[in-house]
Amino acid sequence: MAAHPGSNGSKAKAAKLRVFRGTAAGGDFQNYEVETYPGMVVLDAIHDIQAKQSPDLAVRWNCKAGRCGSCSAEVNGKPRLMCMTRMSAYPEGEPITVTPMRAFPIIKDLVTDVSWNFEMAKKIPPFKPRPRDADGNWRMQQIDIDRIQEFRKCIECFLCQNVCHVVRDHQKKEVFSGPRFLIHLATLDMHPLDTLDRREMVKRDFGVGFCNITKCCTEVCPEHITITDNGIIPLKERIADDHYDPVRWLLRKVAGKPRAHKVPAQPTEAGKTADISGRHRVDGGNGKGELER
Amino acid sequence: MANKVVHLPVLDFGATLRKDNWWIGPAITFVILMGFICYATFRAFENDYYRVGPYLSPFYSPLIPTAGWGIPFLSPAMLILPGPAGFRLTCYYYRKAYYRAFAMDPPACAVGEGGRHDNYNGETKLLIFQNLHRFALYVALGFLVILWHDVYKALWFRDPYGTEASFGVGVGTLVLALNTALLTGYTFSCHSLRHLIGGSVDSYSTAPFGQLRHALWRGVSRLNQNHMFFAWTSLFAVALADLYVRMVSLRVIQDVRIL
């Protein structure tokens, strides 16, 4: 083995890996041995296998810096980013098991088909800000966005989607959006400038009631976003305001006010949303869509 | 390169590739919660040894006179315990604990559930009452007022003739105060309270009392980060406070006056 930049010159140690190899039709574990070096991560080991032993081993990766979220897999049964998982974190001599994300269909080896997530993303009516101020700007204060800044750290690795038992074990993909998109909905619902009311959709179409707050999504998040406590539970409380609070219901009846606090969202085809004025917004795929005027 | 081939395990109940002792957490939770439920049930039926000197067990506070109601086995605790029990049952933290430990739904993260839950509905049907947590919160806030009043009463010791009360602090006073302080921490770190005092606001800078609500929300949020700590310590504390009163009442131990 060639000296690695991070090597201290000491004798290289070997690590054993059990890597899932296969397709949707079925698969097996394959055992490998790789030489380790200080600072080595699991993705390095997979690349080593790919380079020297199994050139056909399929693995999805991009930045190798914990930013792109593409190398999500399960290491010793725990959902992890392979590029952020050090080999030294595991006991020497014991095989390290690497498997693809279980909640999604396998394409090949460690690569899964995560397209369901993107389909779900398209269903969420995008950000629709109120009109600009007289000077042409939108203004908001830091205290207004404290809460949602945390959610913007999401790198869409989909580890939370993978570990959520509603998606993973109960396969409720038709009626439940999963934690990543509940966080996205919370971001929009708490945004000080947003004007669309997505609450009815959060309950009806995105299935927030299916979440039973077991917090696995929070446990696996590589960005340490407090998904459940800061995102999903506030969303559940907002749904409780509208649907499960007889006091508020009575006050609404007495005051004669409608339940919706914003303009109701009206989902149309994927990628487009119409508000009640009939304007459409097109999402260009960068999450920062423009209003069509 | 070796080529030993094994099949990918199917996700039967409990199946996982995790190598840590994932079952310990749910097992401990199960034992502690079951232990508490058994003890509280026993004490609710015991209907005795809940008051000694200036001390009143939190299980029996407020002391409702049920003796004359003519209902067999009815104790004050039976009327009181559903309040705090409802608060804990619908608590967002405890849901994680008991869904894992009792329903095993899931038993732990990335641990298989098998085919046991084909009709999983989360909190949309049978468990829809979980959405009423804020009402349990209102009840819990009422109990806090009563319990702090009990702590105040535990500061006044009557003379042997029962005529005059003088200020004092006993170990029992501290036990009751600690219990109530932890229950206060648990209640004030509640997710529903966090929502009600400021979490429902989208724009603090423009909402009525927005700055104040943001400050309150931020304070509760800080407490909320320790909600799990308060949930467990207050559970132990309330059982300990009741046990202390019972032991003193039975003269198994003697209360020590500090002041």
Cβ distance B113 to A27 less than 8 Å, yes or no, reads: no
- φ, ψ of residue B188 to 5 degrees: the values are -80, -5
The mean pLDDT value for A64-80 works out to 97
Beta strands per DSSP E along B68-202? 156-158, 165-167
Question: Residues B53-81, buried b or exposed e (16+ Cβ, 10 A)?
Answer: bbbbbbbbbeeeebeeeeeeebbbbbebb
Say how many CB pairs under 8 Å bridge A and B.
155
Chain B neighbors of A96, CB-CB under 8 A:
none
Q: Examine the pLDDT at B106 and tell me if it is beyond 70.
A: yes
pLDDT tens column, A171-208: 899 999 999 999 999 999 999 999 999 999 999 999 99
Chain-centre distance for alpha carbon B82: 12
Q: How confident is the model at residue A267 (pLDDT cuts 50, 70, 90)?
A: low
- Which pLDDT belongs to residue A257? 74
- Could you check whether the bond before residue B65 is cis, i.e. omega within 30 degrees of 0? no
The mean pLDDT value for A78-97 works out to 96
Nearest chain B residue (CA) to A159: B110
pLDDT tens column, B75-89: 999 999 999 999 999
The alpha carbon of residue A142 is apart from the nearest alpha carbon of chain B, in Å, by 9
What percentage of chain A exceeds 90 in pLDDT? 76
Q: How confident is the model at residue A12 (pLDDT cuts 50, 70, 90)?
A: confident
Chain B neighbors of A228, CB-CB under 8 A:
92
Q: How confident is the model at residue A274 (pLDDT cuts 50, 70, 90)?
A: very low
Cβ distance B106 to A240 less than 8 Å, yes or no, reads: no
pTM, whole model, 2 decimals?
0.90
Q: Is B189 on the interface with A (CB under 8 A)?
A: no
The answer to which of A22-26, B96-100, B160-164 has the lowest mean pLDDT is B160-164
The mean pLDDT value for A98-127 works out to 95
Residue of A163, A212, A241 lying closest to B95 (CB–CB): A212
Cβ distance B123 to A210 less than 8 Å, yes or no, reads: yes
Cβ distance B110 to A240 less than 8 Å, yes or no, reads: no
What is the residue type of B94? Y
The mean pLDDT value for A40-45 works out to 98
Q: How confident is the model at residue A292 (pLDDT cuts 50, 70, 90)?
A: very low
What's the rounded Cα separation, in Å, for the pair B258 and B168?
Answer: 8
Contact B79/B69 with Cβ under 8 angstroms? no
- Which pLDDT belongs to residue A197? 93
Chain A neighbors of B119, CB-CB under 8 A:
none
Preferred mutation among B135, B192, B203, B223 to probe A, highest tally of A CBs within 10 A: B203
Helical (H) or strand (E) element with A179: helix A179-189
Cβ distance B122 to A214 less than 8 Å, yes or no, reads: no
Nearest alpha-carbon partner for B228 in B93, B36, B30: B93
Residues 1-20 of B with CB under 8 A from A: 1-8, 11, 16-19
Chain A neighbors of B216, CB-CB under 8 A:
none
The answer to which of A137-141, A222-226, B238-242 has the lowest mean pLDDT is A137-141
> Who wins on pLDDT, A253 or B212?
B212
Q: How confident is the model at residue A248 (pLDDT cuts 50, 70, 90)?
A: confident
What is the residue type of B105? D
The alpha carbon of residue A16 is apart from the nearest alpha carbon of chain B, in Å, by 10
What's the rounded Cα separation, in Å, for the pair A137 and A114?
Answer: 38
- Which pLDDT belongs to residue A210? 97
- Which pLDDT belongs to residue A279? 38
Q: Would you mind telling me the total number of residues written for chain A in this entry?
A: 293
Residue of B109, B121, B205 lying closest to A163 (CB–CB): B109
- Which pLDDT belongs to residue B116? 57
The alpha carbon of residue B259 is apart from the nearest alpha carbon of chain A, in Å, by 43
- Which pLDDT belongs to residue A9? 55
Residue of B11, B195, B211 lying closest to A169 (CB–CB): B11
- Which pLDDT belongs to residue A249? 85
The mean pLDDT value for A262-271 works out to 63
Q: Examine the pLDDT at B168 and tell me if it is beyond 80.
A: yes
The answer to which of A117-121, A265-269, A271-275 has the lowest mean pLDDT is A271-275
Cβ distance A27 to B8 less than 8 Å, yes or no, reads: yes
What percentage of chain A exceeds 70 in pLDDT? 85
Q: Examine the pLDDT at A286 and tell me if it is beyond 80.
A: no
The alpha carbon of residue A3 is apart from the nearest alpha carbon of chain B, in Å, by 21
Which residues touch A277 (CB under 8 Å, ≥6 apart)? none
Q: How confident is the model at residue A71 (pLDDT cuts 50, 70, 90)?
A: very high
- Which pLDDT belongs to residue A25? 86
Preferred mutation among A17, A42, A147, A162 to probe B, highest tally of B CBs within 10 A: A147
Q: Is B226 on the interface with A (CB under 8 A)?
A: no
Contact A85/A15 with Cβ under 8 angstroms? no
What is the residue type of B240? L
> Across chain B, what does the average pLDDT equal?
93
Cβ distance A165 to B113 less than 8 Å, yes or no, reads: yes
- φ, ψ of residue B210 to 5 degrees: the values are -60, -45
Q: Examine the pLDDT at B189 and tell me if it is beyond 70.
A: yes
Q: How confident is the model at residue B17 (pLDDT cuts 50, 70, 90)?
A: very high
Q: How confident is the model at residue A285 (pLDDT cuts 50, 70, 90)?
A: very low
- Which pLDDT belongs to residue A251? 87
Q: Is B113 on the interface with A (CB under 8 A)?
A: yes
